[in-house]
């Protein structure tokens, strides 16, 4: 199956930051096809997430450990919390922001967070079966 034209073009210019910024602003998922260097560029990744919060999946591990970047995604599409690196898993505010979107992310929370009454109540608001 042939690749979509926008994928072919961005792969050709995967290191061209200006071009990539324009592309991911229109179609955030194109972040998947840019250079590793630009997947680690906070400006590029935030632009992609602004268009499509699920683009967090394609960010570098370093940026998946960056609170600002992860919050930009999780606060819009809660399930992307699953991409957050370990250093962010004790961030109560980040988890609550995601739980407001989908209670199911409680599965990815630390044991300590799952023992927090406010966190569990927020999860139940969005996904009652979560406490089963």
For 112-131, what is each residue's pLDDT tens digit? Answer: 999 999 999 998 887 655 55
Residue 17 pLDDT exceeds 60: yes
Chain segment 69-102, per-residue pLDDT in tens: 999 999 999 999 999 999 999 999 999 999 999 9
Residue 132 pLDDT exceeds 80: no
Report yes or no: 97 and 74 within 8 Å, Cβ to Cβ: yes
pTM for the predicted model, two decimal places: 0.90
Task: Report the share of the chain in percent with pLDDT over 70.
Answer: 94
């Amino acid at each position: 199956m042939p690749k979509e034209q926008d994928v072919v073009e961005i792969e050709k210019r995967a290191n061209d930051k200006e071009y990539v910024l324009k592309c991911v602003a229109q179609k955030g998922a194109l972040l998947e096809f840019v250079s590793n260097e630009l997947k680690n560029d906070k400006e590029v990744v935030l632009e992609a997430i602004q268009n499509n919060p699920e683009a967090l999946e394609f960010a570098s591990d370093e940026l998946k450990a960056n609170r600002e970047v992860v919050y930009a995604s999780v606060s819009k599409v809660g399930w992307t919390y699953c991409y957050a690196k370990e250093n962010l898993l004790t961030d109560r505010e980040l988890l609550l922001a995601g739980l407001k979107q989908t209670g199911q992310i409680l599965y990815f929370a630390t044991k300590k967070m799952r023992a927090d009454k406010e966190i569990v109540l927020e999860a139940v608001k969005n996904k009652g079966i979560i406490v089963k």
